[in-house]
Amino acid sequence: MALRIIFMGTPDFSVPTLKALAKAGHEIVAVYSQPPRPGGRRGLDLRKSPVHQAAEELGIPVFNPVNFKDPEDRQIFRALNADVAVVVAYGLLLPVEILEGARLGAYNGHASLLPRWRGAAPIQRAIMAGDAKTGMMVMKMEKGLDTGPVALTREVAIGATMTAGELHDILMEQGAEAMVEAMAKLEDGNLPLVAQSEDGVLYASKIDKSETRIDFTRPAIEVHNHIRGLSPFPGAWFEVELGGRPERIKVLSSELADGNGQPGEVLDDRLSIACGSGAVRLKRLQKAGGKPLDAQEFLRGTQLPPGLRIG
């Protein structure tokens, strides 16, 4: 028999898992997603999350509690009489009463190789740290932050120029496949659970705006990892004076390059920039309010001559 599943998720990353579980024949009795947020040019429109929209397309009822402090919200959850809750990037820390509110508990799809990169931004942090691999893990949730036992793992190699956006898209598809496999095993009663190691624990804290500016005094490999780890969002950036005023420019793609100079110095007409050691070549850039451009197209409209210092 198919499982009765409560699905809990919010962003695009969660949508493939919701759709895959429905396609696999499970009964999605309800979807929980973050409440609609102000959107539009003036912020007057309320925009439903990608998961909310996908659930409506599938004809699944949607609940949007701000949190689960209200006893009525907890009662509604329990009354759904679900076999299991599946959580993928929901965005709320769930109380134990919700984690235990389904017959078989709650299972989370998490985008790292736990216990490395527990927390909010595992994809970005893995790339920024220069990790060679990451993955999707299905784990049984418990009170601690991403501390529960692991049921299933899918490893993914991180290419030397892979951006967070590219890795995000790979992991969300791998996560959907992994969760369908895990739920099939859970349904059959043979889903193994292995406790996480106490060694190698790292926390992937949310990306703060204060850390998005590029620091060209760092070694080139760290600058490169910083750029690709924040691409396409929120985007690593530098500042340069154009037309007599400072302008912020995002860098969406880079590669390691030859050359040395003062940190932030433009070394050639291909946008090779000196770092604390070595250099990076900026390959794709975006002005505020503009569209992303490849370096040569960008340089046709913006002069960044050799010898100029940026930062």
pLDDT tens, residue by residue, 142-168: 999 999 999 999 999 999 999 999 999
Alpha-helix residue ranges (DSSP H) falling in 189-252? 220-229
Please indicate, yes or no, whether residues 120 and 231 belong to a single structural domain of this protein: no
Return the pLDDT at 87: 98
- pLDDT of the residue at 44: 67
188, 221, 245: which is the final residue of a domain?
188
What per-residue confidence (pLDDT) applies to 46? 87
> Predicted confidence band at 244 (pLDDT cuts at 50, 70, 90)?
confident
Taking residues 229-234, report their average pLDDT. 97
Whether 117 and 220 map to the same domain: the answer is: no
| Chain segment 184-216, per-residue pLDDT in tens | 999 999 999 999 999 999 999 999 999 999 999
Out of 138, 156, 188, a domain closes at 188
Question: CA 272, CA 292: separation in Å to the nearest integer?
Answer: 18
Tell me: do 15 and 152 sit in the same domain.
Answer: yes
* Shared domain check, 241 and 183: no
Is 35 known to sit in a ligand binding site? no
Position 201 in a domain = no
Average pLDDT (162-177) is 98
pLDDT at 238: 98
Structural domain includes residue 173? yes
CATH code at position 286: 3.10.25.10
**Whole-number pLDDT of residue 243:** 81
86 falls in which pLDDT band (50, 70, 90)?
Answer: very high
**Based on the domain organization, do 253 and 122 belong to the same domain?**
no
Structurally, the chain folds into a number of domains equal to 2
Residue 252 maps to a domain: yes
pLDDT at 2 over 70: yes
15/159 same-domain check: yes
For 34-66, write each residue's pLDDT tens digit.
999 887 666 668 899 999 999 999 999 999 999
d(CA 158, CA 136): 13
Residues 115 and 167 in one domain: yes
Same domain, 23 and 141: yes
HSE, side-chain direction, 13 A CA sphere, residue 186:
27
Domain-located, residue 310: no
The structure tokens listed for 274 are 């000196």
Please tell me the least confidently modeled range out of 37-41, 66-70, 258-262, 279-283.
37-41
Tell me which amino acid residue 272 is: S
pLDDT in tens, 87-139: 999 999 999 999 999 999 999 999 999 999 999 999 999 999 999 999 999 99
Whole domain around residue 236: which residue ranges?
Answer: 209-301
Whether 79 is in a domain gets the answer: yes
Residue 311 lies in a domain: no
Tell me whether residue 230 is annotated as binding: no
Residues 229 and 170 in one domain: no
Burial class of 25 by CB neighbour count within 10 A (0 to 12, 13 to 18, 19+) = exposed
Mean pLDDT of 277-289: 96
Residue where one domain finishes, among candidates 188, 223, 253: 188
Average pLDDT of the residues in 222-229:
98
**Planar angle of CA 176, 235, 177, nearest 5 degrees:** 5
* 50 marked as part of a ligand binding site: no
Same domain, 179 and 32: yes
Residue 112's domain is classified under what CATH number?
3.40.50.170
Give the predicted TM-score (pTM) of the model: 0.95
| Average pLDDT value for the chain | 96
Q: How confident is the model over 297-305, as a mean pLDDT?
A: 94
Please indicate, yes or no, whether residues 144 and 274 belong to a single structural domain of this protein.
no
Is residue 279 in a domain?
Answer: yes
In percent, the amount of the chain with pLDDT more than 90 equals 94
Percent above pLDDT 70 for the chain: 98
For 265-270, the CB contacts below 8 A with 24+ separation are 265/307, 265/308, 265/309, 266/304, 266/305, 266/306, 266/307, 266/308, 266/309, 266/310, 267/306, 268/306, 269/299, 269/305, 269/306, 270/295, 270/296
At 253 the pLDDT is 98
Question: 3-class SS at 156?
Answer: strand
Are 227 and 85 part of one and the same domain?
Answer: no
In this structure, the number of other CB atoms found within 10 A of the CB of residue 55 comes to: 26
Is 112 known to sit in a ligand binding site?
yes
- Taking Cα atoms as reference points, which of 53, 50, 2 lies closest to residue 23? 2
Give mean pLDDT, residues 231-247: 93
